[in-house]
């Protein structure tokens, strides 16, 4: 009887010999494909975040240009600002803000803190006859100090109404 008890379960186990090499390779291939998909998704998310960082930085710079123009107009109204060459605020004015030069004291870190030397972007603004300010902020595509990622098409046009 003990011999019959031993042959019963042992006979069932003989058919189960474990996992074959083919099954292991198929499972490994499925895991590999899923891992590649996740890594691709992470790299795309990283590139999208770099583009968003660029757009946010350019929008922030454009807002600071508009606030500087508002402040300059108010200072001219009060008679505190007499030199208007670095920040013309009359209607119909157009200005490309230099990244270096004579207007460093006004637009640079000592003044409005909008531009710095070797900036990664170019800023310009236009004031139309209705008092609408349009600021264009565009990433530079040449030079040593550039935005990371696909930032060349992340230009910002910021429009504000000033009184």
- Check residue 141 and give its pLDDT: 85
CA distance 27 to 41: 21
Q: Is 11 exposed, middle or buried (0-12, 13-18, 19+ CB in 10 A)?
A: exposed
Q: Which of 32-41, 118-127, 134-143 has the highest mean pLDDT?
A: 32-41
**Strand-strand pairing, 156-161 and 121-127:** unpaired
Strand partners, 97: 123
Strand partners, 120: none
Residue with structure tokens 């109404």?
161
DSSP code for 143: S
Residues in the chain: 163
Give tens-digit pLDDT for 29-53.
999 999 999 999 999 999 899 889 9
CA–centroid distance for 144 within its chain: 18
Lookup: tokens for 161: 């109404």
- Give the predicted TM-score (pTM) of the model: 0.75
Report CA torsion sign: 119, 121, 126, 132.
Answer: negative
Domain assignments of the chain as residue spans, ordered by start: 20-161
- Check residue 134 and give its pLDDT: 95
Residue with structure tokens 């200072």?
75
């Amino acid at each position: 009887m003990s011999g019959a008890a031993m042959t019963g379960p042992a006979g069932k186990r003989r058919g189960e010999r474990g996992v074959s090499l083919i099954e292991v390779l198929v499972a490994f291939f499925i895991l590999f494909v899923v891992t590649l998909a996740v890594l691709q998704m992470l790299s795309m998310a990283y590139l999208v975040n770099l583009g968003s960082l660029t757009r946010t930085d350019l929008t922030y710079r454009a807002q600071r240009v508009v606030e500087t123009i508002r402040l300059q107009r108010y200072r001219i109204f009060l008679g505190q600002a007499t030199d208007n060459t670095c920040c013309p605020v009359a209607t119909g004015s157009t200005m490309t803000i230099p990244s270096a030069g004579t207007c460093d004291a006004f637009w640079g870190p000592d003044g409005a803190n909008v531009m710095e030397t070797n900036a990664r972007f170019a800023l310009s603004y236009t004031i139309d006859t209705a008092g609408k300010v349009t600021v264009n902020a565009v990433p530079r595509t040449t030079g040593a100090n550039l935005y990371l990622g696909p930032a060349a098409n992340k230009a910002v046009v910021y429009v504000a109404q000033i009184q």
